[in-house]
Amino acid sequence: MKVTWDQNTCSHAGKCVQGSPSVFKVEDGKFVIDETGAPEEEIRNTVSQCPSGALTIED
């Protein structure tokens, strides 16, 4: 599973950072995705709640 983020689509609602803070983080001003930070089911659930659709999953 690979999670990708489209910065041009992102509305910066923060649902990802709030939903899975161990996966979706801002470090040194850059958005970071750590796919090992949570179980796959949790990541999929958080991605599905992205209001702008900026997050996608490739299997």
What residues make up the domain containing 37? 2-58
Q: Which two tokens stand for residue 10?
A: 């992102």
- Residue 53 is predicted with a pLDDT of 97
- Residue 6 is predicted with a pLDDT of 98
In this prediction, residue 50 has a pLDDT band, given cuts at 50, 70 and 90, of very high
Region 17-29: mean pLDDT is: 96
Q: What does the DSSP 8-state code read for residue 10?
A: -
pTM of the shown model:
0.92
DSSP letter for each residue of 13-58: --HHHHH-TTTEEEETTEEEE-TTSS-HHHHHHHHHT-SS--EEEE
Q: pLDDT above 90 covers what percent of the chain? A: 100
Overall domain count for the chain = 1
- Residue 32 is predicted with a pLDDT of 97
- Residue 46 is predicted with a pLDDT of 98
Tell me the CATH number at 28. Answer: 3.30.70.20
